[in-house]
Structure 1
Amino acid sequence: MTGVRTTCAYCGVGCGVIATPQADGGVDIKGDPNHPANYGRLCAKGTNLGETLSTVDRLLHPMINGVQSDWDSATTLMAEKFQTSIREHGPDSVAFYVSGQLLTEDYYVANKLMKGFIGSANIDTNSRLCMASSVVGHKRAFGTDTVPGTYEDLENADLIVLVGSNLAWCHPVLHQRILAAKETRGTQIINIDPRRTATSDLVDMHLGIKSGGDVALFNGLLNAIVDAGAVDQDYVDQHVNGCDAALSAARETSLDQLLNLTGLNSDQLDAFYAAWIENKRVVTIYSQGVNQASDGSDKVNAIINCHLATGRVGRVGMGPFSVTGQPNAMGGREVGGLSNMLAAHLDIENPIHREKVADFWNAPTLPTQAGLKAVDLFDACASGQIKALWIMCTNPAVSMPRANDVAAAIKNVDFVAVSDIIAKTDTTKLADVLLPATGWGEKDGTVTNSERRISRQRGFLPAPMDAKHDWQIICDVATKMGWGHAFAFKTPSDIFAEWAAMTQLSRDAGKDLDISAFSMMNDAEYDALQPVQWPIKSDHSDTRFFANGGFYTSDGRANMLGIRPQSTPQIANTKYPFTLNTGRVRDHWHTMTRSAKSPTLSAHMGEPYCEIHPIDANALHIKPASLVCVESPHGSVILRALITDRVQQGQVFAPLHWTSLWASKARIDTLVPSLCDPYSGQPELKRAAVNIRPFAANWFAFAVCVDEPQPSTPYWAKAQTKSGWRVEMAAKGAPLDFITFAKSELGLSDEEPVVYEDKNTGQYRAAFMRDGRVVATIFAANEPVALSRTFVVNAMNSGADHNLLAGIGGADQPDQGAIVCTCFNVGANKLATLVQSGKASSIAQIGDAVLAGTNCGSCRPELAAIIHRHAPKIAAE
């Protein structure tokens, strides 16, 4: 079959993918060499999309109160519940919580239904958690939510500054693009992050800023710009307001305060400021470390202030650049998916804008004020204000701050509907009605990436069983609520054409968003749509914004803002003395509903963990690979200790992905308070005050099995492998009957074990046979089990039983360690040995020897770190 050109389902880079279904039912995935976001590159997540397409755990039928139903019954019930709630309690008793993983067409009809016909603005999105502060910063500075630059600027910059962005793991293809620029044209890269990450390993300068110190740092930069005479006075005079006020606010922070707030020394500050000032082509890339903060909007404007003062915006190789976390966070912003905006970048508080939108939709009513933002929305669920809730394509019982409280709030709502592709999530189990949606590979529509580029997602698989597209489900419910005339869409191209026509309102209002050239597009033209940046220009000229002014404010001038650092940036206290930082791992995604289906991706990080500085670990008597309990006022989790100086003393880091489906107690956002930015409503997910203590376990086990395990120990974490599952377990005491316990936990029945027991050391090992094949192996001890997990998993995958109970291969099968390169299954020990031998002293030589780093390239930063740590030392002469 001919390959289908589509767009990746993961981050906001928006990579082009060529998906080719195979005769054996699999799907071959390759990067699209013609797509301008990635030019054929893919990261590990994109490369392994084919492993995530099984329907084993899919929601395949509508469900009402846990019983299989049909579409007519489910949508009729939903319409009745929504109508009853509106009639008895008003439109604001209804809420939608949607997702940056919806396609633009889905987002558009959801927004149209809620704001235009239900008449409430209570539609918010998980994008509130990742880029709402950027929206505020852009609107305050530029007059509208405009990303000024393009990805090409990354390859034309002389200096790239990464702020709060682990680009190497979270946006690997963009990271590869800037590394290519570094190699070919000498682009300097500076990384600003409290934690030393994979991104830090390939940069020219890493600034280990104190958590919360970004405003002070960039105010200091603004001062340095002025002191060095680097202000572009012509640009400021012609195009910028507020420069004096911004500088006056920045001057209020003394040097001593700046050093204290940032945690940096004078030499570091001088080096950073000099590099920024001396290299005119500067791009400042920022992500969640900036946005996910109670002063996130101010951080954004502190960055933008520096670019406006120097006129470094909208020109080749220059500008502030917000990179989004989700594949369609930008598309959701365009169609008004946030509760405080209208579609086409129009303002909900503006009566003229509301009238224009109401007329365009022929809508009966439009809300006159912003609706509830995400945190407030779920607080309203808890208080009983929200009577009917529809959650689409997201898992807030895991991803929201105070996640335990959010789960309780959802449970408190009178009627809850959830549209999802997965049958069992922490959120679906709270629903009255479950609606089976199509997923990536089945859906048709568009997404917009971080550089304003619209790309097509094209279906290449049939919808399984009763699954429907999200836009169809929304339109069905709207029709049963009496508004079928406004939702009579037959295809995604019908929706896209209406949406494109609506952007004429943006142009008429003097705004930036215009794709009205596509308003007459038919199905064939839509199907053939090539990746395109807005605004759509007939002459295909430069799509950057603001090089020559032209801002979308009332006077056409940009605004620099007087920004001041928070007066109390530190959040740790005597009871909770550590600051928790949260984030992603390289090969997993959000709450793992997609990525955990890939055995290849789980091979990189198969267990939740907590990074702790060695000094802190020693003081708390925490040993490497032991378990720790991390607690906040809102919840607690149990994680594997990873002792490393990559985190600063007094800080810890934990990834956000694990849910109750994949670990016993690892929902990280249960720890995070709901402290929000007062302007954007974005919660501070990157900082929480926590306490840490050893988890009192004295019995540990590791198992690999063919059937899915059902562990019940106080601590467990499981992951898929090529041939089944792996699971880590721990408890406060050994089971009374080891074999009975193992059979229960690993889903076994009559299988006979081969057992090894050493009562002196407390070690137990057992392999269980079925039809002449080992179907489960378990290793237990009184301390964390030391064995080659990679060897055991690979042996089970291949069916090789030799040395299995030994837990380690023979001389011809050395322990290659944790997997670093998932594309070619190359482990850390194997790579370290290769480097130590002197046979490879560069990433290219590693690639020549073992192929690592030669495919998707996601592991290249880790390869660089291994080279740095293990390269033979040359004695000084």
Structure 2
Amino acid sequence: MASLAPRLGRGAMTNGWNDIKNADLILVMGGNPAENHPCGFKWAIKARQEKGTKIICVDPRFNRTAAVSDIFLQIRPGSDLAFMGGLINYVLQNKKYNEEYIKHFTNAAYIVKDTYNFDPQTGLFSGYDPEKRKYDQSLWGYELDEKGMAKKDMTLEHPRCVFQLMKQFYSRYTPEVVEKLTGIPKDKFLEVAKLIAETSAPDKSMTHLYALGWTHHSIGTQLIGSMAILQLLLGNIGVPGGGVNALRGHANVQGMTDLAGEGRFLPGYLKPPLATQQSLKDHIEANTPKAVDTSMNYWSNYGKFYVSLLKAWFGNAATPENEFAYHYLPKIEKVIAMDEILDRMYRGKMEGLVSVGMNILASNPNVKKIVEGLGKLKWMVVIDVFETEMAAFWKYVDDPSKVQTEVFLLPSALFAEKEGSYTNSGRVIKWKYKAVDPPGEAKDEFWIAGQLFMRIRQLYKKEGGKFPDPILNLTWNFQNPYYPTAEEVLREMNGYALADITDDKGNVVVKKGERVPGFAVLKDDGTTACGMWLYSGVFPQTGNRAKSTDLSDPSGLGVYPGYGFSWPANRRILYNRASADPSGKPWSEKKKYL
């Protein structure tokens, strides 16, 4: 998310599992899919068997992916960024980039302010404050014209255009430097660099597969970002067989991030309000980017998505007069990362913790510090399928009698014991049916959430509180409020009309009370409610598309548009407008997608 969203627009797998078969070259770096994603890796093997696609594996270990690869490069641990710098430099120096693609579909031609600078001796960019250990990134912006838009040089010759600055920055990563830093012999590096550079041809494409080997790296954001740069230079974003493809570690990791499981976002990657944004107008203006003439800029609809979310949450209590209950949302000073949350807990700054399907003693470093911090809580709720190390942390304390934390362990249901949807790595939302009932007292999360919310609301009704309004006015219109169903929740996420929705000619396109067909009809005037704008279209008035199982593939590219629903708007390849030139002509009939 932190890597791909700033560089491409969305933090998600750009293409999809099936699309791997369309690649002419497959680069695996930062993952081991042959062992960890065998069902998905079959598409890489299929590509090699049917069209002679080569598989390149770059890894410190000779793993199972390396064993079935055509080329294996054994890299020194931690030197991945030098290897990526070498590839980018090779493409730039040998003019192997797709020039028309980068002119029209990237910021390569944009001219950067003269306040930007990089010192190769110190490794620092301009604007660094050594005391705060932070950069003033405003110094790195673009030169603007009279309309407030970035100035461009379509010849790519201006010394301060992004292309030239990038060329200068990466010039240090020569094949000799790559060999010295990575341990990969120069001749082997050049062999691979040549193969990768050849995919800039209009009828070629390369896909990159990565997983936790990069995302859990201390510089993972930069690693994944460098691959995005390489693929953009080659014109491999938005085309069949291309992309930067994150292989998620669990079945529904993508769904979790889409629905704000990270905590840095609200559902659909909308932003939480900051303390400096006391009004809805301030918040929307701060998060709505200006469009450039070559960009679709769908985030210009940020206000429509935000207001529709507030209407879904607070219903009739959200009105234009009260800024759609925007003041119900807490205004934070900054987004707090997990390491800071754990540090606050360690310092006794937290009272309670609710953990759902997470075991921080197994997934985070410095277990001793975490155990000590958990012991300083007043209470902790753990919702999981068994007693995890986190739920029983007091067993790892020398003197458990000193632990003040009251632990509530709520046994929940396994995946086969409840119905609902998964969102896989390729953003496909697919319905899963319940097979068996959970054992004993175990309950699924819908039951747990319904019971908790209704009982909390009853307490607020009875006892009041400092600010009960958000709880008392929260929309909870389920048939059984103590036990919502998965389909009821998905309907609210899809969105619905609160009044007749008309087009520009006044024709009614969605009647009041009907579910919307997609996010294109969402409004910022309070006439639509949508709990998750990205998923809008998954459950239109015609039914639950996550349940669809149509396996027809008209294009032959493995798109399967009738199987499940892929966000956004059932697009299986993100940024696919870039699969054709500005006039709409495909770069190659062989790679025709639109």
Residue 130 (structure 1) aligns with: none
What code does the residue aligned with 2:97 have?
A: V
Answer whether contact 1:356 1:505 (CA < 8 A) is retained.
no
Moved more, 260-269 or 426-435: 426-435
1:368 and 2:288 equivalent? no
Residue 572 (structure 2) aligns with: 543
Answer whether contact 1:513 1:535 (CA < 8 A) is retained.
no
The separation in 1 between residues aligned to 2:212 and 2:177, in whole angstroms, is: 25
Answer whether contact 1:153 1:283 (CA < 8 A) is retained.
no
Q: Deviations over 1:48-78 (max 9, x none)?
A: xxxxxxxxxxxxxxxxxxxxxxxxxxxxxxx
What code does the residue aligned with 2:91 have?
A: I
Residue 218 (structure 2) aligns with: 294
149 and 496 in structure 1: CA distance in 2 versus 1, 3 angstrom threshold:
same
Cα offset, 1:371, TM superposition: 3.6
Q: Deviations over 1:113-147 (max 9, x none)?
A: xxxxxxxxxxxxxxxxxxxxxx0111111233243
Answer whether contact 1:345 1:513 (CA < 8 A) is retained.
no
506 and 420 in structure 1: CA distance in 2 versus 1, 3 angstrom threshold:
farther
1:312 aligned residue (236, 244, 267): 236
* Uncovered stretches (5+) of structure 1, i.e. residues with no partner: 1-134, 551-877
Q: Deviations over 1:549-595 (max 9, x none)?
A: 49xxxxxxxxxxxxxxxxxxxxxxxxxxxxxxxxxxxxxxxxxxxxx
What code does the residue aligned with 1:407 have?
A: V
Cα offset, 1:188, TM superposition: 0.5
Q: Deviations over 1:434-487 (max 9, x none)?
A: 111111211111111111111122111012222211132123222222237534
Structure-to-structure mapping, 1:640-719, within 5 angstroms:
none
Cα offset, 1:256, TM superposition: 4.0
1:278 and 2:198 equivalent? yes
1:175 and 2:150 equivalent? no
The separation in 1 between residues aligned to 2:86 and 2:546, in whole angstroms, is: 50
Cα offset, 1:301, TM superposition: 0.9
526 and 436 in structure 1: CA distance in 2 versus 1, 3 angstrom threshold:
farther
The separation in 2 between residues aligned to 1:193 and 1:534, in whole angstroms, is: 31
Residue 498 (structure 1) aligns with: 492
548 and 189 in structure 1: CA distance in 2 versus 1, 3 angstrom threshold:
same
Answer whether contact 2:254 2:423 (CA < 8 A) is retained.
yes
1:264 and 2:202 equivalent? no
143 and 499 in structure 1: CA distance in 2 versus 1, 3 angstrom threshold:
same
What code does the residue aligned with 2:225 have?
A: N
1:251 and 2:171 equivalent? yes
1:332 and 2:256 equivalent? yes
1:161 and 2:36 equivalent? no
SS at match of 1:486: coil
Answer whether contact 1:454 1:533 (CA < 8 A) is retained.
yes
1:358 aligned residue (305, 310, 328): 310
311 and 367 in structure 1: CA distance in 2 versus 1, 3 angstrom threshold:
farther
1:227 and 2:93 equivalent? yes
* Uncovered stretches (5+) of structure 2, i.e. residues with no partner: 108-161, 274-281, 285-302, 315-324, 395-405, 458-470, 479-483, 497-515, 525-531, 550-562, 580-594
Q: Deviations over 1:321-356 (max 9, x none)?
A: 111111111001111211211211223358125655
What code does the residue aligned with 2:432 have?
A: Q
The separation in 2 between residues aligned to 1:140 and 1:525, in whole angstroms, is: 32
Q: Deviations over 1:670-692 (max 9, x none)?
A: xxxxxxxxxxxxxxxxxxxxxxx
167 and 507 in structure 1: CA distance in 2 versus 1, 3 angstrom threshold:
farther
Structure-to-structure mapping, 1:476-495, within 5 angstroms:
476-482=451-457, 483=471, 485-489=474-478, 490-495=484-489
Identify the structure with the greater helix proportion: 2
The separation in 1 between residues aligned to 2:335 and 2:520, in whole angstroms, is: 21
How many percent of aligned residue pairs carry the same amino acid?
21
What code does the residue aligned with 2:268 have?
A: A
Cα offset, 1:414, TM superposition: 1.4
253 and 528 in structure 1: CA distance in 2 versus 1, 3 angstrom threshold:
closer
SS at match of 1:285: strand
Cα offset, 1:385, TM superposition: 1.6
Residue 564 (structure 2) aligns with: 532
Residue 537 (structure 2) aligns with: 517
Residue 412 (structure 2) aligns with: 437
Residue 81 (structure 2) aligns with: 215
SS at match of 1:136: coil
SS at match of 1:412: coil
Answer whether contact 1:506 1:513 (CA < 8 A) is retained.
no
Cα offset, 1:359, TM superposition: 3.8
Q: Deviations over 1:831-859 (max 9, x none)?
A: xxxxxxxxxxxxxxxxxxxxxxxxxxxxx
Cα offset, 1:407, TM superposition: 2.4
What code does the residue aligned with 2:573 have?
A: R
Structure-to-structure mapping, 1:618-637, within 5 angstroms:
none
- Count of paired positions: 412
Answer whether contact 1:392 1:420 (CA < 8 A) is retained.
yes
1:136 and 2:2 equivalent? yes
The separation in 1 between residues aligned to 2:369 and 2:492, in whole angstroms, is: 39
311 and 401 in structure 1: CA distance in 2 versus 1, 3 angstrom threshold:
same
The separation in 2 between residues aligned to 1:509 and 1:178, in whole angstroms, is: 42
487 and 469 in structure 1: CA distance in 2 versus 1, 3 angstrom threshold:
farther
Considering only aligned residues, what root-mean-square deviation do their CA atoms show, in Å? 2.8
Structure-to-structure mapping, 1:837-856, within 5 angstroms:
none
355 and 527 in structure 1: CA distance in 2 versus 1, 3 angstrom threshold:
closer
What code does the residue aligned with 2:363 have?
A: S
The separation in 2 between residues aligned to 1:367 and 1:293, in whole angstroms, is: 32
The separation in 2 between residues aligned to 1:513 and 1:271, in whole angstroms, is: 45
2:368 aligned residue (391, 404, 407): 404
The separation in 2 between residues aligned to 1:224 and 1:480, in whole angstroms, is: 62
527 and 302 in structure 1: CA distance in 2 versus 1, 3 angstrom threshold:
closer
Larger Rg: 1
Moved more, 177-186 or 291-300: 177-186
Cα offset, 1:536, TM superposition: 6.1
Cα offset, 1:252, TM superposition: 3.2
Cα offset, 1:419, TM superposition: 0.6
1:447 and 2:422 equivalent? yes
Residue 715 (structure 1) aligns with: none
Cα offset, 1:358, TM superposition: 3.0
SS at match of 1:318: coil
Cα offset, 1:406, TM superposition: 1.8
Structure-to-structure mapping, 1:574-653, within 5 angstroms:
none
Residue 626 (structure 1) aligns with: none
Answer whether contact 2:446 2:485 (CA < 8 A) is retained.
no
Q: Report the TM-score, using the length of structure 2 for normalisation.
A: 0.64
The separation in 1 between residues aligned to 2:245 and 2:13, in whole angstroms, is: 7
1:463 and 2:395 equivalent? no
Cα offset, 1:527, TM superposition: 8.4
Cα offset, 1:149, TM superposition: 0.9
The separation in 2 between residues aligned to 1:323 and 1:152, in whole angstroms, is: 13
Residue 344 (structure 2) aligns with: 380
What code does the residue aligned with 1:347 have?
A: K
Cα offset, 1:271, TM superposition: 1.0
Q: Report the TM-score, using the length of structure 1 for normalisation.
A: 0.44
Answer whether contact 1:311 1:547 (CA < 8 A) is retained.
no
The separation in 1 between residues aligned to 2:409 and 2:55, in whole angstroms, is: 47
Cα offset, 1:525, TM superposition: 4.3
The separation in 2 between residues aligned to 1:155 and 1:178, in whole angstroms, is: 6
The separation in 2 between residues aligned to 1:311 and 1:348, in whole angstroms, is: 34
Structure-to-structure mapping, 1:73-222, within 5 angstroms:
135-222=1-88
The separation in 2 between residues aligned to 1:148 and 1:507, in whole angstroms, is: 25
Answer whether contact 1:163 1:286 (CA < 8 A) is retained.
yes
The separation in 2 between residues aligned to 1:382 and 1:507, in whole angstroms, is: 47
Residue 653 (structure 1) aligns with: none
